[in-house]
Chains A and B, each alone.
Chain A
Amino acid sequence: MSTRAAVAKSDNHDASQAGREAATRALAALDGRADLLLVFATAGYDQPALLAAITEAAGDVPLAGCSGEGVITQEGSDERAHAVVIMAIASDMATFDTFAVEELAKNARGAGEAIAAEVRRLAERRGRCLLLFPDGITGNSTTLLTALQEQLPYPVAIAGGTAGDLANFVRTFQYHDGRVLSDAVAGVLIGGDVDVETAVSHGCEPIGSVRTVTRSDGGCVYEIDGRTAWSVFKEYLDGDPVDLSAADSVHLSFGERLPSRSGDHYGQYVMRTPFSLDRESGALFFPGSLPQGSRIQMTRRDPDRIKKSAMESARALQARRPGERPNLVLHFDCAGRGRIIFGDRATEMAITPMQQVLGRDLPWLGFHTYGEIAQLDGTAYYHNYTVVLLALYDRERVHEG
C-alpha cells in the first residue's frame, strides 16, 4: 500500500461537533485506517474540547498540529474564527513519530536539542522530514532551529509553521496526540521509504537604505543605526502611532541579509516581522531573532510579487520531480499573505494558482502561520511573509518513474 491521505474540514462553531465531523470524514475517506493525523484549527474554538472530540473519533492515532490564523485545503483558505482541517495519512511506506517539547520561551535552544535527541532516538526510522509547529508568539524559533540543526545526527528535511491565534498575539496552541499545549513545539518525524521536496518564497520588496542592528538581545531589537527600533519602523507608518498594530506589522517588515545566498527566486533577504513593541524602551520583538550587527533593510509586501514568487515555488517543486504526482502536499502560508492583503480574493489570488500547478485533486492541507520554517541551501530558517510547500512522495514511485 502506498501512502494515502485524505483531508476533511468543518466550520461548525461547536468545538466538539467540529472535531468529530472533521475527524470522522477524514478517517472515513481512508476506510477508517490512519497512521497520522495532522490537525490545524483556528483559535476561536475551545481547543481542549476540539482535541477531545478528534481523539474520541479517531482513537489513539498519533496526532500533530497547531492553531493557526487560518486553515488551508483545496477549497482555499479560511481565516474565520471557527474552522478546523484534518489530514489523515495511512501508509505502509512511511513512519510517523509525533513529539512535543514544552517551555519554548524559557529554553528555545533546549527545545531544539530535545527534538534532535528524539531524532537520534528514532535513528532506525531513517527520518526523512521533520515537521515543526512551534508556538508563534513565544520563544525564539531561530535559536530553536540553530540548536536542532547543530545536533541532528543526519540531514533531514525541516519544514513547518508557527502557531497563531486570532491575530491577538496572546496565546497559541500546539497539538500532540490528545494534548493541547501552549509555549511548546509540536512536531512529527516522518521516516521510511518516502521523500519530501520543499519550496519557499516570499513576496516582499526591500525599500530604503541598508541598515544595521546596533543593539539586540536574541529576538529583542533595541536599536537600529543607533536609534530605537520603534522610531525607525514608525517612520514608515501614518500619523504618530503609540503601539504596533498587526496590520502595520504585516505591511512592513525587515529583511535580514544572508550574505551566502545566491540570487534565486527567494532573494538574499530572509524576512523578519516585529510581533510586539516594548513601548518603554522602543524595542521591537522578532520571533525570528535579529542578531546585533545584522545588515537589514525595510521591506514592504508586494501583492504581485507574492503571487509571482508563490507560482515560482510551485513550479520549482514540480520541476524537481517532473511527471510525478505527490501523495500529499502541506502548505504553510504567512497570516500576512491571506485576506489581510487580498481580501475576499485571497484564495483565488494566492492559493488556487499553486494548486493548479501541482494538482487540484491532491490531498492538500495547511494553515496560515505566524512564521514559517523552511530550508534554504540545506539550512532551515525561520521566515516571515513566506509560503512553504512540502510535497511527499513514496520512494517506490520514484524508482518506478
Chain B
Amino acid sequence: MKDEELIKENQALNEQVKLLVKTERRLYGAQRTIETQLRKLHALTTVATNAGRLGDPDLILELALEALLEVLDVDQALALVPTKGAGTRVAAMTTQPGCEPHHSWGGRSVALPRLTAPLLLTGRNDGGDPHLSALLQAIDGYFAARRTSGGHARRPPAVELVAPLRRKSGAQLGVIVLRKIDRTASFHETMLSEADLPFVELMATRIEADVENVLLYRELEEFAGELERKVAERTADLARMNGELAVSLRRVRETQAQLVEASKRAAMLTLVGGLSHELNNPIGVILGYAQGLLESTSSGALRRPLSAIERQALRCSHLVRALLRLAENRPLALDSIPPALLLQSVVTDAAAAAEERGVRLYVGLLDNDLPSLVVSVASVREALGQLVKNALDATRRGGSVTLDARSRRRNGVWGVELSVRDSGAGIPRAFLSRIFDPFFTTKPPGKGVGLGLSLVRQSVEAHGGRVDVRSEPGHGTTARVWLPIDAGVQSAVESELPSDAGGAP
C-alpha cells in the first residue's frame, strides 16, 4: 500500500516535471521571440533617433537599409529613387560582405513600379507588373557576378522584398528592395517571409516621415531664401528710387533757388539800372557845375564846399557806373590767354597797392602745361583784381596774397581753377553765406559799397564758370574761380558747389 502511494507520488512528480519542462521550453521560445522583436525595435529606434540629424534623404535611406540588413538576415538592401528624367537611381545600398554589386547601375531609364504595399517575391513572381519586372531585372544585372569565362551570372535571388516609399502628398519617393540570394541560412537566421512585411512597412513609414521632414525643411529653406532674395531686390529697388527721388528733389530745390535768385537779381538789376540812369544825369549836372565853379572861383571860402560837392558827386558817379555795369548784360569779347599771363597781369595791376600795404603779392608755382583760357580777358582780369583787392584789404602788413592756377575737371568739363589765397583774419562763418549779396560789406563806410563780389560772380558766371570762397577765421581766405577752358563753347552742367559759397566782400 505504501509502495503504491510512492509510485503514485512519483508519477505525479514526473508529470509536474514534464509540465515544467514544457513551460521552460515555451519560455525559451518566448525569449527568442522577444529578442527578435527587440532587435526590430532597436532598428526602428536607431533610425528614428539618428535620422533627424542626418538632414539628407540618401543618408537616411542608408541608415535604414543598414538597420534592415542587420535585422532581417538579407544579403543586399538598396533604395531606389526616381530621377528627374523619369528614370531611377540607387540612392543608398548596403550588402553583406561578398554580395556587393559588380556593375554600374543600369536602370537609369527604368521607371519605378507603383506599389501600394510591401511585396514579397519568391521565384520572381512579379505579378506581371512590367515596371517591377524591369526594375528587378536591372537589379539582377547590377549585382550579377562576373564569370571568369566571360558573361555574367545573372540569377534572381531566392527571395526578395520590395517596399514602396511615398510622400504625404502621395508622390512617389522611391522603393526599398531587400534580397536574399540563396536559401542557405543558419538555424538562427530567418528567410524573408510574409511575416516580415509589417515590420518593413513600419520601417518604410519611419523612413517616409524622416525623409518628409528633411524635404519639407529644404522646401521651407528654399522658400525662405526666395523670400529673402525678393525682399532684398525690392529693398534695393526702393533704395535706388529713393536715391533718384532725393537727387530730383535736390535739383528741384536748387533750380527753384536759382530761379528765385535770378528773379531777385533781375528785379534788382532792373531797378538798379533804371535808378542809375535817373541818377546819372543829375549827378553829371551837379559834378559839372561844381567843377565849373571850382575853376572860376578863387574864393577859399567857396572852394572848400565846392570841392566837397565835387568829391561826393564823383563818388556818386562811381557808384552809379558800378551799378550800371552790374545791370549790364553785354556780350563777351573773347580772347585766348595763358593763365600764368592772366595772373601775372593781375599782380602787376595790384603791385603798388600791395607794396603800400606791406603785403607780399605773388603768383605761385604753376604747371607748365596749363591750357590757355578763352575768356573776356578784361572782365576776368577785373574780377580777379577785385578778389586780390579784397585779399589785400583783409591781410595785415607782413602777410601774403598768393595767386595759383591748376587744371580741374568739373562735371565732365575741363577748366582752370584760379585761386587767390590770403593769410588774413578770415571771414566769420555767419557772413560766408551773404558775401555775394549786393551791397553786403564788412568794410567801414566809405571803403566799399558791397558790389565787388557781386560783380565778380556776374563776370565768372557769364563765362560759364563758378566762384566760391572758403575761409576759416584765423586761417585766411581762399577765393576760387573756375573757368571752362573755352567759355565760348562751355557746356558746364549745373554746378554742384554749395549755392551759399561766397567770396571775401
Contact = CB atoms under 8 A, between A and B. Distances in A.
B188 interface: yes
A343 B186 contact: no
B22 A238 contact: yes
B99 interface: yes
A79 B18 contact: no
A237 B186 contact: no
- Secondary structure at the B interface, as helix, strand, loop or mixed, is helix
A300 B14 contact: no
Contact of B187 (A17, A246, A344): A246
Given A207-B17, A208-B17, A344-B35, A12 B187 contact: no
Contact of A300 (B24, B26, B185, B189): B24
A81 interface: yes
Interface residues of A, number: 37
Interface in A311-351: 335, 339-341, 343-344
A209 B10 contact: yes
A14 interface: yes
Interface string B8-24: 00100010011001101
Interface in A197-236: 207-209, 235-236
B389 interface: no
B298 interface: no
Contacts of A247: 29
Nearest to A45: B184
B251 interface: no
A106 interface: no
B25 A80 contact: no
Contacts of B31: 343
A69 interface: yes
Contact of A251 (B10, B25, B39): B25
Interface in B77-114: 96-99
Given A11-B97, A12-B97, A82-B96, A339 B188 contact: yes
Contact of A79 (B35, B181, B187): B187
A81 B98 contact: no
B26 to A, nearest CB: 6
B32 interface: yes
B188 A207 contact: no
A79 B186 contact: yes
A166 interface: yes
Given A236-B21, A236-B22, A300-B24, A343 B32 contact: yes
B14 A209 contact: yes
B75 interface: yes
B28 interface: yes
A14 B186 contact: no
Contacts of A30: none
Contact of B184 (A43, A209, A339): A43
B18 A235 contact: yes
Interface of B: 10, 14, 17-18, 21-22, 24-26, 28-29, 31-32, 35, 39, 75, 96-99, 181, 184-189
7 contacts: A13-B181, A44-B186, A82-B184, A166-B186, A207-B21, A235-B18, A238-B22
The 9 closest A-B pairs by CB, nearest first: A167-B187, A14-B98, A13-B98, A12-B98, A44-B184, A12-B97, A81-B186, A339-B188, A343-B35
